[in-house]
């Protein structure tokens, strides 16, 4: 699906890492479920920021009732 809006995570940390978020998107393009993919070993701050941003993402409409996928966020020191 085409992503219409992918917000950047908001965080105040010097932590670095990669966070993968599993998402479920409804037919209207709204993220209706999101969770941190098993194996993400970053700080709770980065996981929370990634999860919050993923929940705000929006995708184009689809005839499928739900679709699953992932969003990957890469955090670097500021």
What pLDDT score does 78 carry?
65
What pLDDT score does 14 carry?
87
Rounded CA gap, 78 and 31, in Å? 28
At 66-76, the pLDDT tens digits run 999 999 999 98
Rounded CA gap, 42 and 28, in Å? 31
At 4-54, the pLDDT tens digits run 999 999 988 888 999 999 999 999 999 999 999 987 778 999 999 999 999
**Contact between residue 73 and residue 53 where contact means Cβ atoms under 8 Å apart:** yes
Q: Whole-prediction pTM value? A: 0.90
What pLDDT score does 63 carry?
92
Q: What does the DSSP assignment read for 2-17?
A: -EEE-PPPP------E
């Amino acid at each position: 699906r085409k992503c219409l809006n992918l917000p950047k995570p908001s965080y105040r940390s010097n932590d670095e890492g990669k966070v993968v978020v599993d998402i479920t998107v409804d037919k209207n393009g709204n993220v209706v479920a999101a969770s941190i993919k098993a194996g993400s070993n970053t700080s709770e701050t980065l996981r929370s920021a990634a999860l919050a941003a993923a929940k705000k993402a929006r995708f184009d409409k689809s005839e499928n009732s739900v679709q699953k996928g992932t969003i990957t966020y890469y955090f670097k020191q500021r």
